[in-house]
Amino acid sequence: MLSLVSLLQLEKATQTPVFVQLSNQLGQLIRAGTLKPGQRLPGTRQLAQGLELNRQTVVAAYDEGLAQGWLESRSGSGTYVAAHFPDVVPQPLETDSLPTNEPPSRVDVPGFAFETIDFLLRPLLTNSSGLHLDDGFPDIRLAPMDELSRAYRSYFRWGNPQQHFGYATTKGHPLLREQLSQHLNETRGLRTTPENILITRGSIMGLHLVCQTLLRPGDTVVTGDTTWAGAVMNIRKAGATIQTIPVDQHGMDMDVLADICQKQPIRLVFVTPHHHYPTTVTLRADRRIRLLQLAEQYGFVVLEDDYDYDFHYLSRPILPLASADRKGMVVYVGSLTKSVAPAFRIGYVVAPTTLIDELARLRRIIDRQGDPMLEFAIGQLFKTGELKRHFRKALRTYQARRDCFCDLLTQELGDTVQFTKPDGGLAVWSRFDPKVDMQSLALRAAQNGLFFSNGLSHNPPEQQLYGTRFGFASSTEAELERSIAILKRLL
């Protein structure tokens, strides 16, 4: 009994009850093989005396062990280690392996093999607390938080509690799908009903569902030679092969795409036609028509990611490809993340109803449903017009910030940075003099309180673009001035 007492280390000044500590440590000793199957444990009075505990504490610990299946009670005989455990060869007891009440050390490497996928390694973009020229995030200070809070509260007064606090449809809240269908039809020239819409947790989830549903290993997908890494990762994870085509000041080169189509089957073309990512150029009208014609002729899917349609500063935005699609060749993916705030994970997929049904079936085994309360609240903001008012206000604010930022780039960094003033979006594609070490510049800027991407993730294979996206929307004019001042000093 003395040896067992010496193996138990109990701390009375912790939040974990002593009987739980005792039960856990007995379980550890059984798993380690120190206490063998069928071994008799000391009586509760004897062990309590040895540990200087109240007997009821030991009784509670034994009861816990019985409930967990580590121990068994034999009438008139006492308490034993359960006999059904396999024999475990005891390991030499070392000081650092004794049961303790310290938080367990984390396990970094599993005891089994698995494959690490290199192309999933990608820097995580977050909103920094200091000055930042980010990838093109919205300013969360402009988000309609009070209106959203009121809409959230109204959810608790709406309808049948059994209905709206239980399981919901995998396609998204009916109110949001209805309001979003109307919004897309009015602003983007689409022809949808709510049955054409699947609500997702951001556009990245929509892209994942589409790629997993439509792509098979060996399929060929065409993207621009510069494109969004998130889409590339999903395409490659589905097993498809990527073939790139040039992107110039008018968008993706459709003549090159036509040549590829004549030589091999194409399953899907991924495109961001409104503001190409990362360069922000707009796909020219004749190339849009050509892309749809090629899709109909060769039967490939056009996956259109319209990530920042709501922010276009020259007259009306150019309508998406999906608005001119008459044959059901376009799958349209969008998001409210850039329109409101990244924390509100609301994206959507627009497609023919049979594809939406299949996407919803796949979504069910990944994420049973979205966030009904958030979806309802956003739907309410559409219904009351609050969200449209927010879009108009944000558009004016972001346009003023774009103009201010582009003036600053020209006046302060004109000898070092080349750019084209974007017609829309929340970022400026900026190309630096090749003599500038972008990685070093971004690191030194961070040390001075300014955060931006070094742009390496935008480089095509074996190419150096010396460019990065400078997001201007999430900073005030004063913050933009301070950011450029830091850059100028470092350059």
CATH number at residue 479: 3.90.1150.10
List the domain range (segments joined by +) for residue 341: 146-384
* 472 occurs within a structural domain: yes
User: Is the domain of 38 the same as that of 180?
Assistant: no
Reading the block at residue 108, the tokens are 């970094």
**Residue 447 pLDDT:** 93
**Residue 148 pLDDT:** 81
CA angle 460/461/463 to nearest 5° reads 70
Integer Cα distance of 344 and 336 in angstroms? 8
* 103 occurs within a structural domain: no
Which pTM does this prediction carry? 0.80
Integer Cα distance of 173 and 151 in angstroms? 14
Integer Cα distance of 67 and 478 in angstroms? 64
C-alpha 255, offset from chain centre: 34
User: Is the domain of 352 the same as that of 400?
Assistant: no
Q: Residue 420: enclosing H or E segment and its boundaries? A: none
Q: Is the pLDDT of residue 356 over 90?
A: yes
CB 377 within 8 A of CB 385: no
- Taking residues 282-304, report their average pLDDT: 96
Number of domains in the chain: 3
User: Is the domain of 252 the same as that of 188?
Assistant: yes
* 459 occurs within a structural domain: yes
- Taking residues 369-388, report their average pLDDT: 88
User: Is the domain of 257 the same as that of 349?
Assistant: yes
pLDDT band at 439 (very low <50, low <70, confident <90, very high): very high
User: Is the domain of 291 the same as that of 419?
Assistant: no
What's the CATH number where 160 sits? Answer: 3.40.640.10
Integer Cα distance of 193 and 191 in angstroms? 7
CA separation (Å) from 260 to 235, 269, 320, 321? 18, 12, 24, 21
What's the CATH number where 91 sits? Answer: 1.10.10.10
Integer Cα distance of 82 and 178 in angstroms? 59
**Residue 179 pLDDT:** 95
**Residue 125 pLDDT:** 62
The pLDDT tens digits of the residues spanning 31-50 come to 888 888 888 988 888 888 88
Q: Which residue has the higher pLDDT, 472 or 339?
A: 472
CB 226 within 8 A of CB 458: yes
User: Is the domain of 311 the same as that of 250?
Assistant: yes
Per cent of the chain over pLDDT 70 is: 92
Secondary structure (DSSP) of 132-156 = EE-SS---GGGS-HHHHHHHHHHHT
User: Is the domain of 342 the same as that of 411?
Assistant: no
The pLDDT tens digits of the residues spanning 413-427 come to 988 999 999 988 899
The pLDDT tens digits of the residues spanning 218-229 come to 999 999 999 998
User: Is the domain of 254 the same as that of 238?
Assistant: yes
* 3-class DSSP assignment, residue 408: helix
